[in-house]
Amino acid sequence: MALLSSSSSSHRTSLASSCPQFYAATSHADSIGFRHRLRLPTRPRPSISFLRASSPTHSLLGAIPRSLGRPRGRSPRFFVSACSKADAAGSSTLTTKLSEFRDSCWRFLRPHTIRGTALGSIALVAKALMENPNLINWWLTFNAFYGLAALICGNGYIVGINQIYDIGIDKVNKPYLPIAAGDLSVQSAWILVLLFAAAGLLIVAWNFGPFITSLYCLGLFLGTIYSVPPFRLKRFPVVAFLIIATVRGFLLNFGVYYATRAALGLPFKWSAPVTFITAFVTLFALVIAITKDLPDVEGDRKFQISTLATKLGVRNIALLGSGLLLANYLGAILVATYMPEAFRRSIMVPTHALLALGLIFQAWILEQAKYTKEAISQFYRFVEISAIEEITLLRCMHRGKVHTLGSVSFVPETETDPRACI
């Protein structure tokens, strides 16, 4: 019996170290049993004569109180089961919290901005590589991934720090963003943006040299003074959209193309496709910078943020953005028409004509909807999607062999004929 008690005690001790709930529950049950053993039984003890007279054994067992045999309360098996359920519930809660945090971080990055950045970078890198296929070293793939990671980090820093200083405005204009919705704390947001900035700078400095590092720092600096007091240049409409056009348009395209050629050991040089892509995307970024405040007019007016939309009116800015973007499409059509030796006319003309017709149709829908907030948001989404589609449809070819990578076709430049076609 002593051996059994010792074994039970050691087993309980091992369970106590892994499950405190079991230890507390069994200790409580033991204390109840001990108190019952000290207490006089409510039923009187049977007399000797009764024991002698009662021949069936079950009569004697029926006369003994249950409290003297086993502690009242739940059995240890019940508490082991309860402990397992509690551990499972705790694991499920942890998984749910991690999933919610991951979702908040993804929304914090503003995925639609990542798509445009990634597609533009991939198009320019692929173009630079296919212009010089004899210099392709597949180890450069790692450099390409490092560059894309650095761009995503820089993008995350810029959009993240803007959210940190726009919490009040976002609660009105974009309540679905994680900080405004209360899904991500300000402290966590600061940790994320600092990690993004540090990781991006480290990647660029380690892999791409001082010139590209200086361009990267310039982009981070412009993104900082755009949002952070006392500068907060987003208060000034013209300066604000010039910053966006510079970062999203010129710096992105020039920097990526320069870095790719430098990795191939080639000097930078402008060509017809690169000039077209840079000019087109810069003007597109300008249009996005002008129209991005259209859905935010209500919050901007409430917090006295001066934008072109609050100054000139939603309708006027929508028409201005549509006109600039339509001019961009018409310019692409004219370039392809009058420079057939440099551009692939059969692709550029119908593609940009369809995009121009889609833009006119969306502007008509916006006019018919009387510029409601839902219609404005739909119009702005169309402008963003059009930018992404334009980047993915960029093509470059030579009269000879056409090199294809995904949806983008490229041709190598040669010393005899350096022309390229889009």
- Mean pLDDT across the stretch 187-197? 96
Q: For residue 154, how many other CB atoms are within 10 A of its CB? A: 26
pLDDT class of 10 with cuts at 50, 70, 90:
low
pLDDT class of 367 with cuts at 50, 70, 90:
very high
In this prediction, residue 194 carries a pLDDT of 97
pLDDT class of 85 with cuts at 50, 70, 90:
low
In this prediction, residue 88 carries a pLDDT of 59
Q: In this predicted model, which residue has the larger pLDDT, 189 or 127? A: 189
In this prediction, residue 410 carries a pLDDT of 33
Please name the amino acid found at residue 100: E
In this prediction, residue 13 carries a pLDDT of 53
Question: Percent of the chain beyond pLDDT 70?
Answer: 70
In this prediction, residue 380 carries a pLDDT of 85
Which of 329, 330, 233, 334 has its CA nearest to residue 289? 233
In this prediction, residue 421 carries a pLDDT of 33
pLDDT class of 357 with cuts at 50, 70, 90:
very high
Which of 177, 145, 355, 351 has its CA nearest to residue 259? 145
Q: Which residues of 376-415 are buried (b: 16+ CB within 10 A; e: fewer)?
A: beebbebbbebbeebbebbbbbbeeeebeeeebbbbbbee
Q: In this predicted model, which residue has the larger pLDDT, 150 or 28? A: 150
When mean pLDDT is compared across 86-95, 291-300, 394-403, 412-421, the lowest value belongs to 412-421
State the Cα–Cα distance between residues 33 and 35, nearest whole angstrom.
5
Both structure tokens of 379: 């119009």
- Mean pLDDT across the stretch 274-284? 80
pTM of the model: 0.66
Which of 227, 204, 224 has its CA nearest to residue 214? 204
In this prediction, residue 383 carries a pLDDT of 84
When mean pLDDT is compared across 100-104, 114-118, 190-194, 368-372, the lowest value belongs to 114-118
Asked if pLDDT for residue 133 goes beyond 50, the answer is yes
Residue 339 DSSP symbol: -
Both structure tokens of 260: 């790719």
Residue 248 DSSP symbol: I
When mean pLDDT is compared across 48-52, 165-169, 378-382, 383-387, the lowest value belongs to 48-52
Q: In this predicted model, which residue has the larger pLDDT, 361 or 174? A: 361
Average pLDDT, the chain: 75
Q: In this predicted model, which residue has the larger pLDDT, 367 or 123? A: 367
Asked if pLDDT for residue 27 goes beyond 90, the answer is no
CA dihedral 393, 397, 403, 409 (to 10 degrees): 0
Q: In this predicted model, which residue has the larger pLDDT, 91 or 65? A: 91
The number of C-alpha atoms within 13 Å of 231 and in the hemisphere containing its C-beta is 13
CB-based contacts of 317-322 (< 8 A; 24+ apart in sequence): 317/290, 317/291, 317/293, 318/291, 318/294, 318/363, 318/366, 318/371, 318/376, 318/379, 319/363, 320/290, 321/287, 321/290, 321/291, 321/294, 321/383, 322/359, 322/360, 322/363
Both structure tokens of 105: 């971080």
In this prediction, residue 342 carries a pLDDT of 73
- Mean pLDDT across the stretch 343-356? 87
When mean pLDDT is compared across 94-103, 128-137, 204-213, 400-409, the lowest value belongs to 400-409
Out of 103-117, 195-209, 373-387, the most confident range is: 195-209
Q: H/E element holding 332?
A: helix 314-338
Cβ atoms 359, 386 nearer than 8 A: yes
Asked if pLDDT for residue 207 goes beyond 60, the answer is yes
- Mean pLDDT across the stretch 250-275? 82
In this prediction, residue 365 carries a pLDDT of 94
When mean pLDDT is compared across 60-64, 235-239, 251-255, 360-364, the lowest value belongs to 60-64
The number of C-alpha atoms within 13 Å of 63 and in the hemisphere containing its C-beta is 12
Residue 46 DSSP symbol: P
Report CA torsion sign: 286, 288, 294, 297. Answer: negative
**pLDDT per residue over 370-418, tens digit each?**
888 889 888 988 887 777 666 656 544 333 333 333 333 333 333 333 3
Report CA torsion sign: 359, 363, 369, 371. Answer: positive
State the Cα–Cα distance between residues 86 and 75, nearest whole angstrom.
17
- Mean pLDDT across the stretch 81-96? 67
In this prediction, residue 393 carries a pLDDT of 60
Q: At what angle do helices 76-108 and 20-38 cross, to 10 degrees?
A: 150
State the Cα–Cα distance between residues 372 and 222, nearest whole angstrom.
32
